[in-house]
A and B are shown apart, each in its own frame.
Chain A
Amino acid sequence: MSLIVFLLLFPLGIAFLQLFIRTEKARNVTVLSSCALLAVASLTLLFRKLNIDIHFYQVENTLIDQGIFAVEVLLSLFLIYISAKHKKYWVTLLVVLQSALMIWFELAHGHSIHTANNFFVDRLSIIMSLIIGIIGSLVVVYALGYMKDFQVHNTGKIADKRPFFFFILFAFMSAMYGVVFSNNLLWLYFFWEVTTVCSFLLIGYKNDQESINNAFLALFMNLIGGLCFAAGIVYLYLTSGVIELDKMLALTQGAVVIPVILLAVAGLTKSAQLPFSKWLLGAMVAPTPVSALLHSSTMVKAGVYLLLKLAPLMTGTNTGLLVALIGGFTFLITSFIAISQSDAKKVLAYSTIANLGLIVLCAGIGTYEALWAGILLIIFHAIAKGLLFICVGTVEHKISSRSIEAMDELVMRMPKLSSMMFVGMAGMFLAPFGMLISKWAVLKAILDADPILSVLVIFGSSASLFFWVKWMGKLITVVQDREDIEQGISKTEWFPLYALSGLTIAACLFFPAASRYLIEPYSMHIYGMASTMNSGNLTIMMMMLGLVILFPFVLPGAKYDKHVKLVDAYLGGANLEGSASFRGSLGGRKQVVFANYYLEKYFVETKTYRIGFVICTALLFAMFLGMI
């Protein structure tokens, strides 16, 4: 109990402390120590609660309820004020609707609501709290160094609001812990809305027109989800008198059709599924640590967390099928679009949406096999995507571009960083790394439940392979020797980079343990059945991992191989200055330039997106029709 309260309140306290810290040194010390504490606390939770299926906590709640309600009203007032100020009246409307609904509910029914248990811990919330406490903390640590550079780069252009920035980061983490520990749906809803507001403030950090617009877009879409969430709770309470997550999950599928649809829509908006994907793409304007946080350990993971929680209520239902279809199409469409993108952050963003799509697909299928795959995906994706974002952020500061086409010869310019990027990318799609293990599981789960959906996953994963490999290729292509520019990256940036690279590899080694001690018992608790990878396949995966890990050790050996003869690349025999330039047909000197294929003609971003948007809007509409 005290541990849960600590995880909730400690980051909140640190958040407020950050508001008053003005010196860099004090900020470094407080952030580093509190992040370390959060990681340790999350690990402690793991070891303490490992053997317990589910543990409930009754918290004396009238006072807290009133407090939460007061904060909710204040947040609503703030949102109404700020949206009206920026003339975003759609947002105002949503906030007003939502607050009116909740205030009415509170006044009409608040006094009669009695909850037995407000908080709980089970193995899924342990997994989530580890992701928040370790990966989230690493990203926050990274933000220290990054934001310092960021403010130096933008002196005079962007106001230095770092105290506020770190205030939001910690508040965000606190709210995320709230999301994964709340059993009281009203509390869950409260924390859910806090994450929405936090991400709104973070996206708008730069305070230029683009950031403000994108921040409001994110707010708008997430408020649609929030409204559905609120409506779902109200409807659930009015029809079945239930206001707790565990009691809701214990109801029959038939009794909760409408609440499940409404909550699922909330999950879909938060996890940026089509047709709600634009907000996450727009969120790129924020400083990179924000993206790293939103994409890996917070925000979008809250969405898929809720959907996975609802999974048993969706197994085999029409709602489940529609959710699975939305996830599947989102995976396919956004993977296709990522092929045509050269902006590194955009590729990462599309790949996040795609992978969330896979998790949503698993939740929609809702079988124990799918659940196993979905949880693994959450873990592996959080680590690798966090790593990739902070890699791109660091590279961007060094080469002043985040275009993949500008990453030529990165392996020479930033050898350590490009190896880390390599690890991150391998973690995203390559056998035998994490995501691929999960894809194996996803395919198996789909074929056992809805084989037709397999076509979406199969084409989507082939597309993702394409855009990752060409990016990898870009990093290792070397036309001429380049200077090493890796100096000047602070320790608070190196540490998360190393840690997440290590975790990406460690996750593959230790996933059998995670599966055995966390995911399988969790699945047993819910379904009475658990999926796993058989030991023969596990052995083979480990053999492959062993072979792949050999690669970086063999690679340097090539430097000292005396038996090879170095020559210039073949340029039709017209080489000038080694492989770097050649004599053109008109006699002039031509530079050798490499560019990747983006197949833009075939995977046009706007057109492809529109197709996905239409398909998924139709599916969403069908879901709403299902309520009638």
Chain B
Amino acid sequence: MNININIDPGTIILALFYLVAAPLFGGLLTGLDRIITARMQGRYGPPLFQPFYDVLKLYEKESIVVRRSQNIYILFFLIFTIFTGGLFFTGGDLLLVIFSLTLAGIFLVLAGFKASSPYGHIGAERELIQILAYEPMVLLTAAGMYMVTKSFFVKDILNFNVPVIYYLPGIFIGFVYILTIKLRKSPYDLSTSHHGHQEIVKGITTEFSGPALGMIEIAHWYEVAFIMGFIYLFFAPDPLIAVSLALLVYFLEIVIDNAFARAKWQVALASSWLFTLVFGFSNIVYLFIWK
């Protein structure tokens, strides 16, 4: 068995570019998010680079833990989140991308369990329910893209002659719906809350502070970049249109975030599955029958 490791220089350059550019992009988008959110609430808001200042400050803080190993789980959460995006942006297999994303998510959940604090524990259980809620739709999205393009590879989907959304409108709706969970936006910011004075304190991140919390933030930037890439994929191949539409979707998520109060996990789970079945699965059926 000889495994040919054919990684061409282009891929390596792309991967390196991603390593640097993705968190910059994700961080900037988060900063922009905070400004827009503030304006919607009639505030002025922080400077654009505030997320970067926050993280830099976190790295100057002491590392405080409940269980010694808890931060190792966070480290692996970060590693696999970066890996996920790397695989995606270098044109890899979408299913493997999703599996890797899930693996990253599981490390975060396990970190929550490991911290062994009641609030962290609730956060971890809720995070797990969130994964249960969005995972089917994410997999179904990959399934739909495969049915249209006959390939799981991001590079093939990207170069498909028409935007896949043309065939996947239902899947797109379902996907945007579960994005609210993945972007940790209200009404589905169930496992962590933005504000520490709420009922679950800071949920899964309660016991994480300093550099560990910094890692969680950075992972989130990578995640945001990855998600934007995923939305882009629906509208490829025209970059200009695709980028503007992806940004528009993000703006929509900000509006939703500001317009809704947090829902119960039951609602998150039931409604996500409902959207998955009604919009996602029906789209699959449509493709199977008519295409």
Contact = CB atoms under 8 A, between A and B. Distances in A.
B168 to A, nearest CB: 13
A479 B201 contact: no
A469 B110 contact: yes
A432 B100 CA distance: 8
Interface string B128-159: 11011001100110010011000010000000
Interface string A482-522: 00000000000000000000000000000011001000000
B248 to A, nearest CB: 28
A592 B135 contact: no
B71 A558 contact: yes
A451 B116 contact: no
A579 B1 CA distance: 52
B288 interface: yes
A555 B69 contact: yes
B72 interface: yes
A454 B99 contact: no
Contacts of A430: 103, 106
Contact of B131 (A465, A564, A570, A602): A465
Interface residues of B, number: 68
B3 A463 contact: no
B65 A566 contact: yes
A86 interface: no
Given A451-B287, A473-B109, A566-B66, A466 B132 contact: yes
Contact of B206 (A462, A463, A547, A570): A570
Nearest to B5: A539
B95 interface: yes
A594 interface: yes
Nearest to A537: B93
B226 interface: no
A477 B72 contact: no
B102 to A, nearest CB: 7
Nearest to A596: B125
B97 to A, nearest CB: 9
A465 B133 CA distance: 11
Interface stretch (A134-142, A282-290, A439-447): A439-447
B10 to A, nearest CB: 14
A440 B99 contact: yes
Contacts of A544: 80, 83, 100, 103
A564 B110 contact: no
B93 A540 contact: yes
A554 B128 contact: no
Contact of B3 (A451, A452, A474, A539): A539
A477 B116 contact: yes
Interface in A522-557: 535-544, 547-548, 551, 554-555, 557
B139 A447 contact: no
Contact of B284 (A451, A571, A597): A451
A479 B113 CA distance: 11
A466 B128 contact: yes
B190 to A, nearest CB: 12
Interface string B32-47: 0000000000000000
Contacts of B136: 455, 458-459, 462
A48 interface: no
B87 A564 contact: no
Contacts of A596: 125
A164 B266 CA distance: 51
A473 B106 CA distance: 10
B252 interface: no
Contact of B106 (A451, A469, A541, A559): A469
A129 to B, nearest CB: 22
A577 interface: no
A541 B69 contact: no
A565 interface: yes
Interface of B: 1, 3-7, 62-69, 71-72, 75-76, 79-80, 83, 87, 92-93, 95-96, 99-100, 102-103, 106, 109-110, 112-121, 124-125, 128-129, 131-132, 135-136, 139-140, 143, 146-147, 152, 201, 206-207, 266, 273, 277, 281, 284-285, 287-288
Closest 4 CB pairs of A and B: A473-B113, A569-B117, A431-B99, A462-B135
22 contacts: A431-B96, A431-B102, A440-B96, A440-B99, A444-B152, A447-B146, A451-B143, A454-B143, A462-B131, A465-B102, A473-B109, A473-B112, A473-B128, A477-B114, A535-B4, A541-B96, A547-B79, A551-B76, A564-B65, A566-B66, A567-B66, A571-B117
Interface of A: 430-432, 436, 440, 443-444, 447, 451-452, 454-455, 458-459, 461-463, 465-466, 469-470, 472-474, 476-479, 512-513, 516, 535-544, 547-548, 551, 554-555, 557-559, 561, 563-571, 579, 592, 594, 596-597, 602
Given A431-B99, A569-B117, 5 more contacts: A431-B100, A452-B285, A454-B143, A540-B93, A597-B129
